Structure 1
Amino acid sequence: MNACTATPAYVNTQKAQQSGENFFIQQFQVSCLGQFSYYIESNNEAAIIDPMRDYEDYIKFSESRNSVIKYVILTHLHADFVAGHLDLAKITGAQIVLGPQAVTQYQAKIAQDEELLPLGRAYLRVVHTPGHTLESSCFVLVVDDKDHVVFSGDSLFLEEVGRPDLASKSSGLTTHQLASLLYHSLRNKIMKLEDDVILYPGHGAGSSCGKAIGAGTVSTIGEQKLKNWALQNITEEEFVKISTDIPAPPQYFFHDVQLNRQGANDLLNIKSKVTKPLSYQEFAQVAADGALILDSRDVVNKGIIKGSINITQVATLASFVGILFKPDQRIVIVADEGKEEITIIRLLRIGYENILGYLEGGFDNYVRNGGEVQQLNIVDLKDFLDTKDQPQNHVFIDCRNPPEFKTTGIVPGSLMIPLFQIENQLDLIPKDKTLHIYCRSGARAKTAATILLRHGYSDFVLIQNAGLEHIVKEHQIQVQKVE
């Protein structure tokens, strides 16, 4: 399965195996968004927690187990993806459930704190944990009067907590006030669970919903009490200071919250509308009319279409698009053959629906028709580091994120300009020098280079599928530490 399909990550957790026939849990993982969703079943009744917009896998999985989906649950109104709750409920007849204080523009059960939702021979107990958002809630699986599992949504992650700055506009509270709410939710609700309760979070490493989410997909309350900074013996003031020291959220987050509150378009209808093959002439016309050309190809050694932005399938395509471009941006796609649909699905997952279609035949068709091509100068590691004994004419640019600068250091003397700030800091980037652009793996560097090409830069070098780690390992350079 594609790494960005809602892929089952576990078939029976250790705890589910111990419980015999009373319950079953399946975790689904969408790695490119760092997102987890869940199938919970007891006695042929099932609940889906935080489903992705492309919902088909949940239905297929339920059918394979001969279960009936009773509930579709949102732990909160999500900001980083468009949920599939409306389509799932429409198709299966399931009831949509959200926690206390949720406000929606569609019919849903707004559960009460500590309410029990019957599920076969088990219950899901609603635990209201405001802070990430006002309606944020955890759902505890109760079997035989014992708490077995907590689905914590974005209230608690592995070694991190949810960011408290997403609901300040809708709630009327400040980010600091929301952080204070989260501090008390953790201590008065989550930390009161027994240490052996299994913790299933809403996100893993790579998600922008937390500042520094730890690796892994599952934990226990006891383990997090030991490892998670937010559950240590710190004051409310200390917690607020740490949790609010976080970069601004991606611009699309507020767009997605609103879509999840009001209800997004039917997935199959919008997907059918935008999955449209375009001839070269049609493609050239929409591009000339100002549509953004999104090139999702992984390998661009043959060049790119003039004016296009390369964000590869290898990269977290949806997140990059959501940070770099506004949700109403008109987009036309150039993809590797057979990957047009997954590119479109990734965009629809974050609510980007202004897709005009994709170039039929891809890049090769563009070239055959005489389209103008720009080259990316991709070289090996040795040539990348070569300043030809004229270092004054060369500038290294590290386009990773600030936490990465501090963790691993940089190539000495590099300009530190995160990818998402490139267009805002063009005045720092000289056009009369050779630019050596790098990141962790090479994907962000290619995106940065295509952005710079659109602004008239042409003298730069990149490394193919390599970054700082490879530079240090292969050439044993001494990195410059960043405080």
Structure 2
Amino acid sequence: MQIEQFYDTGLAQASYAIISNNEMVLVDPARDPEPYLAFARENHAKIIGIIETHPHADFVSSHLELHKRTGATIYTSKLVGASYPHKTFDEGEQIEIGHCTLKALNTPGHSPDSICVLLSDQHGKEIAVFTGDTLFVGDVGRPDLRENVGNLQAKARELAKAMYYSLRDKIMKLPTDVLVYPAHGPGSLCGKSMRNELQSTIGKELEENPALGTMEESVFIEMLLNDQPFIPKYFIHDVALNRAGASDLEISLSHIIHTEESEIDNTSALLVDTRSAQAFKTSHHHHAINIPDGNKFETWLGSIIAPGESFYLIIEDEQTLSRLLHKLAKIGYEAQCKGYLSATVSSQMSPVFDLSFFEKNEDNFTIIDIRNDNELKEGKLFKHAIHIPLPRLRESLQAIPEEKPIVVHCAGGYRSAIGSSIIAASVAVPVYDLGTAVNDFSPIS
């Protein structure tokens, strides 16, 4: 028996391959099927099954493409109401893989249709559980993503209650030496306090995971509902896309071709400049917003741009193109991309920020704090700052006064580059990015 974890740091997403006797089953595969196909070839294994633990909100799965390319059966709960070819996989049902067995456990909580997958060896010993978004290392899945989407919809409080019983009636009763393989690690927006480890054991989680501690149902519900991170705009879109099954990756990307700048002079589509903040400030298209290519590029793109909203990419060079397009596809946004442009010299330049003048004359500026709601609890950095989290910024531009120059800050510098570019494209006064200089300021009491 062999278990292989595939981990995407950008979306903090984990998927798995299980091999026994040259047969292979995948759990929650990411959008690009090639790593799984290559792994099967390297291990002389045949992919016989693909398990979806639930319709994912934060990434697009390759389950349908893998099915078409390998003939492997897709398994998911009947509660998903999946429209792709599949076999239902619910409580107690089993998949034989080589000398091992995979058994479904229905574990509603993160979603009404969530399952976990229990792996047993040829002797019936329970070896590992693939927990999807039910149990993470140090955390459990958030319950607030299925109020308005999916075959089954449920209020967050109802799902939090279901999570309490799924954990206590199913997961916590497993042997303490059972390995825990979750679908996400630290940085994922599907939970709020995951530890750095990418796997665990039931015993360790019983000792260290606050959600598995002894507490009343009502206490658990409040703990789970409080302080969940923001929900990116693309999450609802991805649940629906995964229920239907995404189209083949390379076919989906094939329509995105080079566009000349003259073709976008009168476009109503967004222009997304993916170059570094410094390159953008030096020269950029006057309508462009800056989302620098980085480890969380796809998360912020899908948090700022709504599903169905058209955009063009402005790229540094052709060498970055493939990486960026695959990041779009990871969240199912490739269909919205109308094309890409190579960066050219433009007349638009961001104003130069005089930090020393700002430090002595804060009242001469309107300060916009674009940190998330939970970050604000750490304290304001500037007394009169207006707080508008970045995911809500485009919809809140009318709340920003234009009587003074504007300074935008976040917690580290990456988001403020995005936020300042969004505001600058919509106001007449100078807009400055505090950038990494924010680290020189401390929360005020």
The TM-score with structure 1 as length reference comes to: 0.85
What do the CA deviations read for 1:454-478 (whole angstroms, capped 9, x no partner)? 21154233245x254x325xxxxx4
Alignment of 1:67-466 (within 5 A): 67-143=45-121, 144-169=123-148, 170=150, 171-245=152-226, 246=228, 249-274=231-256, 276-282=257-263, 284-285=264-265, 288-298=266-276, 299-337=279-317, 338-352=319-333, 353-359=335-341, 362-364=342-344, 367=345, 372-377=346-351, 383-384=354-355, 386-387=357-358, 389-407=360-378, 409-413=379-383, 414-463=385-434, 466=436
What do the CA deviations read for 1:93-141 (whole angstroms, capped 9, x no partner)? 1110113422111210111312221111211121110111122111122
- Return closer, same or farther for 1:43/1:388 CA change in 2, 3 Å cut-off: closer
User: Matched residue of 2:194: which SS?
Assistant: coil
- Return closer, same or farther for 1:410/1:121 CA change in 2, 3 Å cut-off: same
Does the CA contact (< 8 Å) of 1:191 and 1:221 recur in 2?
Answer: yes
Aligned equivalents of 2:68, 2:17: Cα separation in 1: 17
Does the CA contact (< 8 Å) of 1:431 and 1:459 recur in 2?
Answer: no
Does the CA contact (< 8 Å) of 1:384 and 1:462 recur in 2?
Answer: no
**Corresponding position of 1:3:** none
Is it true that 1:479 corresponds to 2:443 in the alignment?
yes
User: Matched residue of 1:334: which SS?
Assistant: strand
User: Matched residue of 1:420: which SS?
Assistant: helix
Does the CA contact (< 8 Å) of 1:25 and 1:40 recur in 2?
Answer: yes
**Corresponding position of 1:15:** none
Does the CA contact (< 8 Å) of 2:230 and 2:372 recur in 1?
Answer: no
Aligned equivalents of 2:43, 2:366: Cα separation in 1: 58
Aligned equivalents of 2:293, 2:410: Cα separation in 1: 16
Deviates more, 1:227-236 or 1:455-464: 455-464
Structure 1 alignment gaps of length 5 or more: 1-22, 473-477
- Return closer, same or farther for 1:281/1:424 CA change in 2, 3 Å cut-off: closer
Aligned equivalents of 2:194, 2:359: Cα separation in 1: 41
Structure of higher RCO (CA pairs closer than 8 Å, 6+ residues apart): 2
The TM-score with structure 2 as length reference comes to: 0.92
Deviation at 1:378, TM superposition (A): 5.8
- Return closer, same or farther for 1:376/1:193 CA change in 2, 3 Å cut-off: farther
- Return closer, same or farther for 1:479/1:104 CA change in 2, 3 Å cut-off: same
Aligned equivalents of 2:128, 2:347: Cα separation in 1: 54
User: Matched residue of 1:273: which SS?
Assistant: coil
- Return closer, same or farther for 1:279/1:190 CA change in 2, 3 Å cut-off: same
Deviates more, 1:24-33 or 1:453-462: 453-462
Deviation at 1:440, TM superposition (A): 2.9
- Return closer, same or farther for 1:384/1:124 CA change in 2, 3 Å cut-off: farther
Aligned equivalents of 1:403, 1:248: Cα separation in 2: 9
Amino acid corresponding to residue 128 of structure 2 in structure 1: V
User: Matched residue of 1:387: which SS?
Assistant: helix
Aligned equivalents of 2:183, 2:427: Cα separation in 1: 42
Amino acid corresponding to residue 349 of structure 2 in structure 1: Q
Aligned equivalents of 2:437, 2:197: Cα separation in 1: 24
- Return closer, same or farther for 1:199/1:386 CA change in 2, 3 Å cut-off: farther
What do the CA deviations read for 1:47-98 (whole angstroms, capped 9, x no partner)? 1111111111111111111111111111111111111000011111111011
Aligned equivalents of 1:456, 1:333: Cα separation in 2: 22
Deviates more, 1:162-171 or 1:135-144: 162-171
Deviation at 1:415, TM superposition (A): 3.1
Aligned equivalents of 1:119, 1:373: Cα separation in 2: 62
Aligned equivalents of 1:164, 1:268: Cα separation in 2: 33
Structure 2 alignment gaps of length 5 or more: none
- Return closer, same or farther for 1:31/1:378 CA change in 2, 3 Å cut-off: farther
User: Matched residue of 1:75: which SS?
Assistant: coil
Aligned equivalents of 1:111, 1:103: Cα separation in 2: 12
Aligned equivalents of 2:213, 2:311: Cα separation in 1: 46
Aligned equivalents of 1:30, 1:377: Cα separation in 2: 36
- Return closer, same or farther for 1:42/1:450 CA change in 2, 3 Å cut-off: same
Aligned equivalents of 2:49, 2:97: Cα separation in 1: 9
Aligned equivalents of 1:415, 1:232: Cα separation in 2: 38
Does the CA contact (< 8 Å) of 2:12 and 2:186 recur in 1?
Answer: yes
Does the CA contact (< 8 Å) of 1:439 and 1:467 recur in 2?
Answer: no
Amino acid corresponding to residue 250 of structure 2 in structure 1: L
Amino acid corresponding to residue 61 of structure 1 in structure 2: F
Aligned equivalents of 1:208, 1:424: Cα separation in 2: 21
User: Matched residue of 2:80: which SS?
Assistant: coil
What do the CA deviations read for 1:149-197 (whole angstroms, capped 9, x no partner)? 1111000112221111222334243221121111100000000112221
Alignment of 1:37-56 (within 5 A): 37-56=15-34
Amino acid corresponding to residue 283 of structure 2 in structure 1: G
Amino acid corresponding to residue 123 of structure 1 in structure 2: T
Deviation at 1:397, TM superposition (A): 2.9
Amino acid corresponding to residue 137 of structure 2 in structure 1: L
User: Matched residue of 2:282: which SS?
Assistant: coil
